[in-house]
Amino acid sequence: MSLAVVSSRAITGMAARAVTVEVHLANGLPGLSLVGLPDTEVKESRERVRSALQNGRFEFPARRITVNLAPADLPKASGCFDLPIALGILAASGQLPDAGLRSHEFAGELSLTGELRPVRGALAMASAMLAEPSARALVLPAASAQEAALVEGATVYGARTLLDVCAHLAEPDVATPLPRAVVPLALAASADSGVAQASDLPDLGDIKGQEHAKRALEVAAAGGHHILFYGPPGTGKSMLATRLAGLLPALSKAQAVEAATLASLSAQGFDMRHWGRRPFRAPHHTASAAALVGGGSAPRPGEISLAHRGVLFLDELPEFQRRVLEVLREPLELGHVTISRAGGHATFPAAFQLVAAMNPCPCGDLGHPSRNCRCTSEAVARYRNRLSGPLLDRIDLHVEVPALSAETFAAPASGERSEVVATRVRQARERQLSRQGQLNCGLSSRALEAQCALQPNAQDVLHRAVTQHHWSARTYHRVLRVARTVADLAGIGDIDAHHVAEAVQYREAPSS
Map out the domains of the chain as residue ranges: 3-182, 193-434, 443-511
In angstroms, the CA 305 to CA 347 distance is 10
Beta bridge partners of 105: 7, 138
Hey, what CATH class is 193-434 in?
alpha beta
**pLDDT value of position 156:** 93
Tell me which of 55-64, 133-142, 170-179, 450-459 is least confident. 170-179
466-497 burial string, b = 16+ CB within 10 Å, else e? beeeebeeebbbbbbbbbbbbbbbeeeeebbb
In angstroms, the CA 187 to CA 248 distance is 19
High-pLDDT (> 90) share of the chain, %? 66
**pLDDT value of position 208:** 87
- pLDDT tens, residue by residue, 480-506: 999 999 999 999 988 999 999 999 999
In angstroms, the CA 435 to CA 445 distance is 16
Same fold, 193-434 and 443-511: no
100-129 burial string, b = 16+ CB within 10 Å, else e? bbeebbbbbbbeeebbbbbbbbbbbbbbbb
Angle at 485 between CA 480 and CA 487, to 5 degrees: 95
Residue 91: Cβ-neighbour burial (10 angstroms; 0-12, 13-18, 19+): buried
Residues making up the chain, counted from first to last: 512
**pLDDT value of position 452:** 87
SS3 of 358, please?
Answer: strand
Mean pLDDT of 213-226: 96
Q: What is the pTM of this model?
A: 0.90
Mean pLDDT of 282-295: 94
**pLDDT value of position 178:** 80
The CATH classification of domain 443-511, taken from the options 1.10.8, 3.40.50, 1.10.287, 3.30.1360 = 1.10.8
* CATH number of the 3-182 domain: 3.30.230.10
Per the CB < 8 A criterion, the answer to whether 7 and 136 are in contact is yes
What values do phi and psi take at 341, rounded to 5?
-135, 170
In angstroms, the CA 402 to CA 421 distance is 22
User: What separation, in Å, do the N-terminal and C-terminal C-alpha atoms of the chain show?
Assistant: 80
DSSP 251: P
